[in-house]
Structure 1
Amino acid sequence: MFVLHIALQGCLRGDDVVYGLTADTGGHIRYLLDLVAASAQDRDVTRIVVATRRFTGPLGAAYAVPEERLSDKATLVRLASASPGYRVKEEMHAEVACFADNLVAWIAAQDCAPDLIHAHYADAATVAALVEDRLGIPFVFTAHSLGQVKAMMLGASPVRPDLARRIATEEDALARAHLVIASSRDEAEVQYAGYDTYDPGRVRVLPPGSDLARFAAARPHPRVDAAIDRFLHDPAKPTILALARPVARKNLAALVRAYGESAALRARANLVIVAGTREDIDALDGDMAETMRDLLVLIDRYDLYGRVAYPKTHRPEDVPAIYAYARDRGGVFVNPALNEPFGLTLLEASAAGLPLVATDSGGPNDIVETCGNGLLVDPRAPGAIAAACLRILGDPALYARCVAGGARAAATYDWDRHAARYHGLLRDLLAPRPVAPPTRQLLVCDIDNTLIGCEAALGIFRRWRSRQAGLAFGVATGRSFHSAMAVLEQQESPRPQVMITSVGSEIYHLDGNGVTYTVDLAWRQTISAGWDRAGVHDALCGLDGLVPQGPLEQRALKLSYFGDAAVARRVRDLLDEAGLPARVIHSHGRYLDVLPAAASKGTAVDHVRALYALPEHAVFVAGDSGNDIEMLRVRTQAIIVANYSDDLASNAALQHSYVARRTHARGIIEGVSHFRRMLAHVG
């Protein structure tokens, strides 16, 4: 497989990347270079080329070199475009047509054309679309950051012309890309959702990896220590550390305000801000100069001299030592960005042994939820940032838990795992699809603790599923579509033909390419009738014992909370008294979901059964917990796996179910075999 990456923005080179050299030279370059390095390890990947702009000028002669070798398989190719000099992203649209022409000519000169193109940022997607129109090469798209998110952060109306153009380009990219790769659920489910061309079934969440070994082994360096200590009266105090480019969306000013306005935090710790590399503030690119001036004004306003360090420069190889500096002083790493698409620095700092205080907008949601390595805060609330820092610094047990959680990051955010999933998706997109046999039966099972939960059992299920001609396979889960797809692909589950997600309030069907999915709009329309989401929300607001789950768990057709069984009964009574039709589903003793009255896993399975024109006896369902009751209750061929919870086996409504002797996926196979034997006997 020959993969061509297109990346037009920033100062891209194979080594010695100077991050922060320009406003556009940031994390996306690190992501791309690490992805290429990981991809090159796959024997099925024969060639990788990264195509970028060639330009001359004061930023360095390296960016005018036509070709740079990255590894045995990978090459960086720099092609000319309309202008010879560096272009910031706001001006990049003027380079697209010429660059596309030159890229088509370059491809024509190769012994073989790329199998697939991966476009990074929307202008690169425009190039990829022009190439596809002329050469038929499909492309996937990674946005890295989005214009709509920036427009929301700026809050200006009307939207600036350059941002409006960028948003329109992103709309086209989302419409044209065969697959969109996101770094986090927030990106996939919130950030993209504001676009007219958003199609959730073509978006996959693939968290980037990170080379965390060098951060886990981070050690202090005297030169780095000296560069920081020279600012501070008491360098031995704990360190509040931030490391980010000085651009507005990184919101470093909020951290300075949080520190400056909290006497307790100033007494407890120093603040260290490592904000890119600069010789002269006036020479900084984009909004970086203004951002740095704002920081200096705030430092002066709060009279923070001797308490805040803001070194002018650092080398890429210094970063582990910077984390080690803060770790050895019992510090905390803070990312206060208004929105962070992913957050590689969070993983690095965490691997180095630092607890985190991170923005609740973007990828940090996934990182902190997965690793348990810090606290999330509203980045617009300086008081909340200060309080979170003080809470971690003042609670040794919490500090230790966050440090221990950081050790999980290396196993979870691994480039080899990322590359394996990424290549699997690319291969599936390119593979010819065989004609599927007619569907004669349908199996729908829950995911967590039913399909997955036992690696050996899932391996047996995978082999069993490959032999089931005519059996359509689906899942029904409380997870969102993107959360479900991520865990299924991480566990190497067979790809479902139908995805019933968000406790039955959404349905997705696998497309003919075998990779992407299409939303079932008919189901959405059916269950939306009579659903008053705002009314339900208002009726339940403030109910004692009912705690909303995180923003990502709230859907247009689902409200999710934490609460015990008594709270669930009060919720049902309250909604009945208010005359608000809704279905309340309680599971695992603490999860409480409120859905449209017509929505559930059970009614969703029946909708799919009707679409497949199958009789009742051709459908098998399997589950393990309370949120599976509606699905198990209405199907005659219901399977309860042996590791069930919520007292399912003794539930009066489920006495017709088959309770398997085996757990997890083995129990599913056992149950299907049981009902097939019964059908054969009756026949």
Structure 2
Amino acid sequence: MTETQEQVRAHQDHPAQDGLYLVLISVHGLIRGQHLELGRDADTGGQVLYVVELLRALAAHPKVARVDLLTRQIHDSRIDSSYAQAQEPLADVPNAQIIRLPAGPDEYLPKESLWPHLDSFSDHAMAYLRQQDRLPDVIHSHYADAGYAGVRLALQLGVPLVHTGHSLGRSKRQSLLASGESERRLEEKYQISHRIRVEEDILSVASLVVASTRDEIDSQYGMYDWANPERMRVIPPGVNLARFDPAPHPAPAIVPALARFLREPERPPILALSRPDERKNIAGLIHAYGQSPALQTRANLVIVAGNREDIRDMPVGPRHVLTEILLLLDRYDLYGRVAYPRHHQPDDVPDLYRWAAGLRGVFINPALTEPFGLTLIEAAACGLPILATEDGGPRDIIANCHNGLLIDPLNTGEIGQKLLNILNDGERWQQYAHNGIAGVRQHYTWQAHVEKYLAALDELPLTAPLAADLTASSERQVSAHRLLFLGARLLDPPPAPGQLEELVATLHRKRRQVALGLVTTRPLHELLALLKQRRLAIPEMLITRAGTQIHYGAGLTRDRAWSRHIGVNWQGDRVYDLLAETPGIRLASRSNQGFYAIHAFMDQEFAGLAGLEDQLHQQDIPARVVRIHAQEFLIVPQRASMGFAMRYVANQLDIGLDQVLVVGSARADLDLLGGNILAAQIGREIAEDQLPEDIYPCNADDLTGVMEAINHYQFLEE
């Protein structure tokens, strides 16, 4: 057994004794342990309930020692102060807690606005996890934004990433285009292309993808280039049977609020419960009801679409949906037949299902697409037959439970007719109600979910967690409490006379305060030659070959722990052979290859690096492509990057990222910038409006920009 395999075994044996430590990540929305504000907005829906229920269910299992749910910390007078609480233990499950971390501005933001702040969230999450007495055994991300953070954490820590998509960008894009949305609006509102690129990256890293249905794997993940069905498992979510059951309960408090809308409140209700989101297709349901006089005579329509005070004060998406609801009610003159209450509480939801079942009504989910459909199994558990969109997860639910019918969400005539078919057939209604109760108890409990989930974790491949190299640490001799990293391109071409000397003299005077590091895509010997040409002493830290090598001081002590960390599953020979066989690519000589970096050049006519990345993924080679120049690139291990290496060095030296300044000069240096580090860019290779908002654009185009950045951040002040 190799040294790395022994490390892996030691790590995996330890949790077996003490129980698993699991970390869940769900960034957006409003998450707390009690009194969930479901339906408040588009970001506080089924996913929030899912992750909180999963947190509880996992923590209750005897094989699990601890579960942390990481989410975003919010200080905003418009929402409850509980979302600002940094740590929230769950009173009913002592080994579970919600950890809230800063990410961007204090106020509550929609998920589409969180992308620029996810590096900061990731850095805060890394700092939190490194403070714990052990590394997590698994990181489990939920949705694309958390997946972005999960990828960064998993690669830096060397632990497996599990991912649940909840909804997917390509599927969402397809459905919204079919409903009449324009490409331009999808980009402006949802940043859909960026989300899809992130989802591809997540699929390339994740050891396990948890899907709710077989259709999700085949139809939705099947649209992704880097989806691997062998890494996917269908593990349906559960329902809390203590809350959702068919036993008679007192009429819910919301019923009087519904009755004031309805002339004949004793009629069977067609119940729709969702966020006021255009993808939920509430308008399509009203069209179906309004176009069917027979349906209006047979049943009432009850639309519970979140909570509202004044529609005019709501965000544009919900405001548009709710305004359209009111206009359609007026268009079809549905007053007295449609209820649309302004408020409901989470505790009203199971009572609403039971109330509708008691009147022999139907629950409907007419969404354009539905990855799973948690409300469907909730309604089924309460004995309420269902109709649901044929696009997505409801196909599996109805196939398992045999408790309703699928509908084409764009066919209003079909929706109306199938509602009538169930409402007018008492025997069928009764059979669907009975089947739903039995089917949920067989297929959709949290206990069953957790057993399947833990069994899937047992099948994950061995990984080597990141551990400190004590020998290397003892040889570092870096005593400063701040770090300044410079992109080595700042030294080439030669600086103007006096610039370099002034910078070196300034840093020498502050040597007890600030340690200097250089970062480059070039190999160590080329950087040393450049330092010799510039008559510079070797600085305290050198990160070379795009983050695959770290050396310290004049003795050039190599960080062996970092090398072992990035070397896990590295297949350099296979990468070399793949490039050698690829037309349009010329490999650098063997003597110029790195142990963890394959160096190559592209011909002018070469199609591009995206296809090469696809080939690496198709051959199951965990690697990333790093462009050096237009026709020159490296392929390095997936865990290696200049930004990750810099963060690793800061952690090993016990220096916070807010005490690290990085000054870059090239597009490749963007890997270093962002997150919680102090960052600046020299030159105009990247337009200022394309820089992450926290990066300072230096006015100087040469080495004097370093001093400008130092002064901007007051980096040398005590």
Please classify the TM superposition score into its range, dividing by the shorter chain length.
Answer: 0.5 to 0.7
Post-superposition Cα deviations, 1:374-423, rounded to whole Å, max 9, x if no partner, equal 01110111111110110011111211111111122122111101100101
Instruction: Give me the whole-angstrom Cα distance separating, in 2, the residues matched to 1:379 and 1:260.
Output: 15
The answer to whether the 8 A contact 1:218-1:352 is kept is: no
Residue 59 of structure 1 pairs with residue 79 of structure 2? yes
Instruction: Give me the whole-angstrom Cα distance separating, in 1, the residues matched to 2:434 and 2:285.
Output: 25
Residue 415 of structure 1 pairs with residue 441 of structure 2? no
**Alpha carbons of structure 1 residues 382 and 100: separation in structure 2 relative to 1, 3 Å:** same
**Alpha carbons of structure 1 residues 222 and 351: separation in structure 2 relative to 1, 3 Å:** closer
Question: Which of 308, 316, 339 does residue 346 from structure 2 map onto?
Answer: 316
- What letter corresponds to residue 195 of structure 1 in structure 2? Y
Instruction: Give me the whole-angstrom Cα distance separating, in 2, the residues matched to 1:152 and 1:49.
Output: 34
Instruction: Give me the whole-angstrom Cα distance separating, in 1, the residues matched to 2:409 and 2:321.
Output: 16
Aligned to 1:166: 195
The answer to whether the 8 A contact 1:220-1:324 is kept is: no
Instruction: Give me the whole-angstrom Cα distance separating, in 2, the residues matched to 1:141 and 1:261.
Output: 42
Question: Which of 313, 329, 338 does residue 283 from structure 1 map onto?
Answer: 313
Q: How far did 1:431 drift?
A: 5.6
The correspondence of residues 78-93 of structure 1 with structure 2, limited to 5 A, is: 78-93=100-115
The correspondence of residues 554-565 of structure 1 with structure 2, limited to 5 A, is: none
Instruction: Give me the whole-angstrom Cα distance separating, in 2, the residues matched to 1:377 and 1:220.
Output: 32
Residue 5 of structure 1 pairs with residue 21 of structure 2? no
Residue 398 of structure 1 pairs with residue 418 of structure 2? no
Post-superposition Cα deviations, 1:467-525, rounded to whole Å, max 9, x if no partner, equal xxxxxxxxxxxxxxxxxxxxxxxxxxxxxxxxxxxxxxxxxxxxx99xxxxxxxxxxxx
Q: How far did 1:160 drift?
A: 1.7
Question: Which of 75, 88, 99 does residue 97 from structure 2 map onto?
Answer: 75
Aligned to 2:260: 230
Question: Which of 390, 413, 432 does residue 383 from structure 1 map onto?
Answer: 413
- 3-state secondary structure, aligned to 2:103: coil
Instruction: State the identity as a percent.
Output: 44
Instruction: Give me the whole-angstrom Cα distance separating, in 2, the residues matched to 1:363 and 1:206.
Output: 12
Instruction: Give me the whole-angstrom Cα distance separating, in 2, the residues matched to 1:96 and 1:137.
Output: 19
Instruction: Give me the whole-angstrom Cα distance separating, in 1, the residues matched to 2:155 and 2:436.
Output: 45
Question: Which of 59, 78, 87 does residue 40 from structure 1 map onto?
Answer: 59
- 3-state secondary structure, aligned to 1:306: coil
Aligned to 1:25: 44
Aligned to 1:192: 221
Question: Which of 209, 234, 242 does residue 180 from structure 1 map onto?
Answer: 209
Post-superposition Cα deviations, 1:545-593, rounded to whole Å, max 9, x if no partner, equal xxxxxxxxxxxxxxxxxxxxxxxxxxxxxxxxxxxxxxxxxxxxxxxxx
Instruction: Give me the whole-angstrom Cα distance separating, in 1, the residues matched to 2:463 and 2:74.
Output: 40
| TM-score for both structures, normalised by structure 2 | 0.59
Q: How far did 1:427 drift?
A: 2.6
- 3-state secondary structure, aligned to 1:311: coil
Aligned to 1:666: none
Residue 201 of structure 1 pairs with residue 230 of structure 2? yes
Q: How far did 1:282 drift?
A: 2.1
Instruction: Give me the whole-angstrom Cα distance separating, in 1, the residues matched to 2:86 and 2:463.
Output: 36
The answer to whether the 8 A contact 1:212-1:347 is kept is: no
- What letter corresponds to residue 59 of structure 2 in structure 1? A
Instruction: Give me the whole-angstrom Cα distance separating, in 2, the residues matched to 1:430 and 1:169.
Output: 23
The correspondence of residues 546-625 of structure 1 with structure 2, limited to 5 A, is: none
Instruction: Give me the whole-angstrom Cα distance separating, in 1, the residues matched to 2:347 and 2:301.
Output: 22
Aligned to 2:397: 367
- 3-state secondary structure, aligned to 2:270: strand
Aligned to 2:138: 116
Q: How far did 1:123 drift?
A: 1.6
Instruction: Give me the whole-angstrom Cα distance separating, in 1, the residues matched to 2:171 and 2:462.
Output: 35
- What letter corresponds to residue 115 of structure 2 in structure 1? H
Question: Which of 154, 157, 165 does residue 183 from structure 2 map onto?
Answer: 157
Post-superposition Cα deviations, 1:430-475, rounded to whole Å, max 9, x if no partner, equal 6689xxxxxxxxxxxxxxxxxxxxxxxxxxxxxxxxxxxxxxxxxx
The answer to whether the 8 A contact 1:259-1:386 is kept is: yes
The answer to whether the 8 A contact 2:136-2:159 is kept is: yes
- What letter corresponds to residue 146 of structure 2 in structure 1? A
Q: Which moved more, 1:74-83 or 1:257-266?
A: 74-83
Q: How far did 1:218 drift?
A: 5.1
Residue 99 of structure 1 pairs with residue 121 of structure 2? yes
- 3-state secondary structure, aligned to 2:119: helix
The answer to whether the 8 A contact 2:41-2:276 is kept is: no
Spell out structure 1 runs of 4+ moving beyond 3 A.
Answer: 430-433
Instruction: Give me the whole-angstrom Cα distance separating, in 1, the residues matched to 2:422 and 2:199.
Output: 39
- What letter corresponds to residue 61 of structure 1 in structure 2? S
Q: How far did 1:362 drift?
A: 1.1
- What letter corresponds to residue 186 of structure 1 in structure 2? D
Instruction: Give me the whole-angstrom Cα distance separating, in 2, the residues matched to 1:31 and 1:429.
Output: 23
The answer to whether the 8 A contact 2:306-2:344 is kept is: yes
Q: How far did 1:135 drift?
A: 1.7
- What letter corresponds to residue 298 of structure 1 in structure 2? L
Aligned to 1:553: none
Aligned to 1:264: 294
Instruction: Give me the whole-angstrom Cα distance separating, in 1, the residues matched to 2:192 and 2:399.
Output: 32
Q: How far did 1:95 drift?
A: 1.2
The correspondence of residues 347-362 of structure 1 with structure 2, limited to 5 A, is: 347-362=377-392
The answer to whether the 8 A contact 1:6-1:120 is kept is: yes
Instruction: Give me the whole-angstrom Cα distance separating, in 2, the residues matched to 1:192 and 1:432.
Output: 25
The answer to whether the 8 A contact 2:147-2:163 is kept is: yes
Unaligned segments of structure 1, at least 5 residues? 434-511, 514-683
Q: How far did 1:301 drift?
A: 0.3
Q: How far did 1:213 drift?
A: 3.7
- 3-state secondary structure, aligned to 1:353: coil
Question: Which of 247, 250, 255 does residue 285 from structure 2 map onto?
Answer: 255
Note the aligned Cα RMSD (angstroms): 1.7
Question: Which of 146, 156, 165 does residue 168 from structure 2 map onto?
Answer: 146
The answer to whether the 8 A contact 1:241-1:272 is kept is: yes
Instruction: Give me the whole-angstrom Cα distance separating, in 2, the residues matched to 1:218 and 1:318.
Output: 14
- 3-state secondary structure, aligned to 2:124: helix
Instruction: Give me the whole-angstrom Cα distance separating, in 1, the residues matched to 2:463 and 2:138.
Output: 14
Instruction: Give me the whole-angstrom Cα distance separating, in 1, the residues matched to 2:45 and 2:463.
Output: 37
The answer to whether the 8 A contact 2:233-2:456 is kept is: no
Aligned to 1:463: none
**Alpha carbons of structure 1 residues 105 and 222: separation in structure 2 relative to 1, 3 Å:** closer
Q: How far did 1:231 drift?
A: 0.3
Instruction: Give me the whole-angstrom Cα distance separating, in 2, the residues matched to 1:25 and 1:132.
Output: 26
Instruction: Give me the whole-angstrom Cα distance separating, in 1, the residues matched to 2:62 and 2:355.
Output: 40
Q: How far did 1:222 drift?
A: 5.2
The answer to whether the 8 A contact 1:22-1:286 is kept is: no
Q: How far did 1:133 drift?
A: 2.6
Instruction: Give me the whole-angstrom Cα distance separating, in 1, the residues matched to 2:124 and 2:248.
Output: 43
Instruction: Give me the whole-angstrom Cα distance separating, in 1, the residues matched to 2:248 and 2:171.
Output: 34
Aligned to 2:703: none
- What letter corresponds to residue 138 of structure 2 in structure 1? L
Residue 132 of structure 1 pairs with residue 154 of structure 2? yes
- What letter corresponds to residue 419 of structure 1 in structure 2? V
- What letter corresponds to residue 187 of structure 2 in structure 1? R
**Alpha carbons of structure 1 residues 59 and 422: separation in structure 2 relative to 1, 3 Å:** same
Instruction: Give me the whole-angstrom Cα distance separating, in 1, the residues matched to 2:446 and 2:207.
Output: 23
Q: How far did 1:143 drift?
A: 0.6
Aligned to 2:630: none
- 3-state secondary structure, aligned to 1:271: strand
Post-superposition Cα deviations, 1:317-362, rounded to whole Å, max 9, x if no partner, equal 1112111221121111111011111111111111212111111111
Residue 334 of structure 1 pairs with residue 364 of structure 2? yes
Unaligned segments of structure 2, at least 5 residues? 1-19, 465-567, 570-718
The correspondence of residues 473-512 of structure 1 with structure 2, limited to 5 A, is: none
Post-superposition Cα deviations, 1:173-209, rounded to whole Å, max 9, x if no partner, equal 1111111111111211101111111111111111111
The correspondence of residues 455-534 of structure 1 with structure 2, limited to 5 A, is: none
Aligned to 2:686: none
- 3-state secondary structure, aligned to 1:215: coil
Instruction: Give me the whole-angstrom Cα distance separating, in 2, the residues matched to 1:192 and 1:218.
Output: 41
